[in-house]
C-alpha cells in the first residue's frame, strides 16, 4: 500500500498515445523537412557573409532613426515641457516658470527657448496648413474628417496643435491681467 502511495506521489510525465503520435509525426515530418531546408539555405548564406557572424542578427521591429530629434531633451522631458507650456499665457516669456513646473530647472534658458519656439512655430505652421486643407476639402464637398485638429511630432512626442494654440489664446488674457513683477502681485 505504501508503495502505491509513493507511486501516486511520484508520477512519471505523461506519454502520448501511439495513435496521436502517428498523426502528428506525418505533419511534423513535413514541417521538419521544411525547417531543415531553411537551415541548409541559411547555413549557405552564412558562409558567404563571414563579417556578419560576429554581430548577432536582431529580430523584431527595427528601431526608427529620429531625424527631428531635439538636442538635449528626452521624450519624457518634452512631454513635461508641453504639459507645462499649456498652463501659461505667452509661454515664451515665462520660460523659468515652465521649467520649474516641468522639473527642467537644470536645462539652460536658451535650450528651453529653442524648444518653446520650435513648438510654437511648428504649431502655427501646422494650423495654417490644416485650415488651407479644410478650405480645399470644403470646396470639394468632403467632410472635415477628424474634429481634433492637426497633430505634429516633435522628436517622438505627438502634439495636438489645436489644443496648444487654444491654450495660448485662452491664457493670453490671464497673462495680461497678472503683473509681471512679483511685488505688484
Does this model's pTM top 0.85? My answer is no
- Cell numbers that stand for 178 in this block: 497678472
Predicted confidence at residue 9, as pLDDT, reads 78
Model confidence at 46: pLDDT above 50: no
Domain residue extents for the chain: 75-177
Contact between 55 and 76 under an 8 Å Cβ cutoff? The reply is no
d(CA 127, CA 149): 8
Contact between 110 and 72 under an 8 Å Cβ cutoff? The reply is no
Higher pLDDT pick, 16 / 2:
2
Contact between 46 and 39 under an 8 Å Cβ cutoff? The reply is no
Lowest mean pLDDT among 40-44, 59-63, 123-127, 144-148: 40-44
Lowest mean pLDDT among 8-17, 30-39, 82-91: 30-39
Lowest mean pLDDT among 8-17, 29-38, 44-53, 91-100: 44-53
d(CA 154, CA 6): 67
- Cell numbers that stand for 62 in this block: 527595427
Q: What is the pLDDT of residues 97-131, one digit of tens each?
A: 889 999 988 988 899 999 999 999 999 999 999 88
Contact between 159 and 74 under an 8 Å Cβ cutoff? The reply is no
Q: What is the pLDDT of residues 54-83, one digit of tens each?
A: 666 777 776 665 555 677 788 889 999 999
Instruction: Centre a 10 Å sphere on the Cβ of residue 164 and count the other Cβ atoms it contains.
Output: 23
Contact between 149 and 161 under an 8 Å Cβ cutoff? The reply is yes
Amino acid at each position: 500500500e505504501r508503495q502505491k502511495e509513493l507511486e501516486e506521489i511520484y508520477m512519471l510525465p505523461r506519454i502520448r498515445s501511439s495513435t496521436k503520435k502517428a498523426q502528428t509525426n506525418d505533419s511534423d515530418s513535413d514541417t521538419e523537412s521544411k525547417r531543415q531546408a531553411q537551415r541548409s539555405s541559411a547555413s549557405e548564406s552564412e558562409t558567404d557573409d563571414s563579417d556578419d557572424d560576429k554581430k548577432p542578427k536582431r529580430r523584431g521591429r527595427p528601431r526608427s532613426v529620429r531625424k527631428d530629434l531635439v538636442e538635449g531633451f528626452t521624450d519624457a522631458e518634452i512631454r513635461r515641457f508641453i504639459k507645462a507650456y499649456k498652463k501659461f499665457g505667452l509661454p515664451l516669456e515665462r520660460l523659468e516658470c515652465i521649467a520649474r513646473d516641468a522639473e527642467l530647472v537644470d536645462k539652460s534658458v536658451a535650450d528651453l527657448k529653442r524648444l518653446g519656439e520650435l513648438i510654437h512655430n511648428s504649431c502655427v505652421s501646422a494650423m495654417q496648413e490644416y485650415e488651407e486643407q479644410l478650405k480645399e476639402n470644403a470646396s470639394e464637398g468632403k467632410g472635415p474628417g477628424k474634429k481634433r485638429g492637426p497633430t505634429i511630432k516633435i522628436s517622438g512626442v505627438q502634439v495636438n496643435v489645436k489644443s496648444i494654440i487654444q491654450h495660448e489664446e485662452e491664457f493670453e488674457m490671464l497673462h495680461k491681467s497678472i503683473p509681471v513683477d512679483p511685488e505688484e502681485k
